[in-house]
């Protein structure tokens, strides 16, 4: 199957950012007075929109404390935390390889905010790689498929000509809800057996393997 549209998750799929997300969320939780959050609990919510992530991490949290936690997370992620974030080795070359064919479209569907995605696009000089993108604050959070529906409509591509690539069940279930092909990558935050429950058409254990498969 040759896909006209390839949609990528960001955190944990293209960029190795989980460590900063975890440490920033843990610091924010302490400062908001919610207490300590376990590493695995925070890793579990990566991919969701920030309000949905906080609701899942902190059930019953009141709106004022949730807003404080949100603002402190944003501070730490952008300014306070210096944990490195880089593309996984091979991602830049792999995306460049896919872009060599002009009949292909590449897009991003992420739990980040628009401001956050645009910032990382600028900092990594990668915004020009993609023909379109959707973030959780301008549509609905994963696993609801609305961001995929909007990308298909914007780019004029049918579901059957598209594939979603991600490292979490939220990515894969979002695609599954539309009947879209989905590819799991195992270097991110959710375990392979958890990803397998969403019945991906392919599971990649290495970055080069992913791009070889997409470019086949």
What lies within 8 Å, CB to CB, of 160 at 6+ separation is 179
Q: What pLDDT sits at residue 14?
A: 98
- Architecture category of domain 5-16+87-214 in CATH: 3-Layer(aba) Sandwich (3.40)
Q: What pLDDT sits at residue 101?
A: 86
Q: What pLDDT sits at residue 141?
A: 95
pTM, full prediction:
0.94
Q: What pLDDT sits at residue 172?
A: 98
Per-domain residue ranges for the chain? Answer: 5-16+87-214, 18-80
Q: Do domains 5-16+87-214 and 18-80 have the same CATH topology?
A: no
For residue 109, the SS3 value is strand
Q: What is the CATH number of domain 18-80?
A: 1.10.150
As averages over each run of 10 residues, the pLDDT of the chain (216 residues) reads 92 96 95 94 94 95 95 92 92 96 94 94 95 96 97 98 98 98 97 97 98 94
Complete DSSP assignment for 170-186? HHHHHHHHHT-EEEEES
The answer to whether the beta carbons of residues 170 and 47 sit under 8 Å apart is: yes
**How far does Cα 96 stand from its chain's mean position?**
19
The answer to whether the beta carbons of residues 87 and 14 sit under 8 Å apart is: yes
The answer to whether the beta carbons of residues 183 and 200 sit under 8 Å apart is: yes
Q: What pLDDT sits at residue 1?
A: 57
């Amino acid at each position: 199957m040759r896909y006209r549209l390839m949609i990528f998750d960001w955190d944990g799929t293209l960029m190795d950012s989980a460590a900063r997300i975890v440490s920033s969320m843990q610091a924010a939780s302490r400062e908001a007075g919610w207490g300590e959050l376990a590493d695995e609990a925070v890793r579990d919510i990566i991919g969701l929109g920030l309000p949905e992530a906080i609701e899942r991490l902190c059930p019953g949290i009141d709106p004022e404390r949730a807003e404080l936690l949100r603002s402190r997370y944003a501070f730490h992620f952008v300014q306070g935390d210096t944990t490195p974030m880089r593309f996984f080795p091979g991602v830049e070359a792999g995306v460049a390889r896919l872009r060599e064919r002009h009949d292909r479209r590449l897009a991003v569907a992420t739990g980040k905010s628009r401001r956050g995605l645009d910032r990382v696009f600028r900092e990594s000089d990668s915004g020009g790689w993609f023909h379109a993108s959707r973030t959780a604050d301008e549509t609905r959070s994963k696993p609801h498929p609305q961001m995929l529906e909007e990308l298909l409509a914007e780019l004029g591509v049918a579901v059957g000509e598209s594939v979603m690539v991600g490292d979490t069940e939220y990515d894969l279930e979002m695609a599954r809800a539309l009947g879209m092909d989905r590819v799991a990558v195992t270097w991110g935050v959710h375990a392979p057996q958890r990803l397998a429950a969403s019945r991906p058409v392919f599971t990649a254990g290495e970055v080069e393997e992913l791009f070889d498969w997409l470019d086949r």
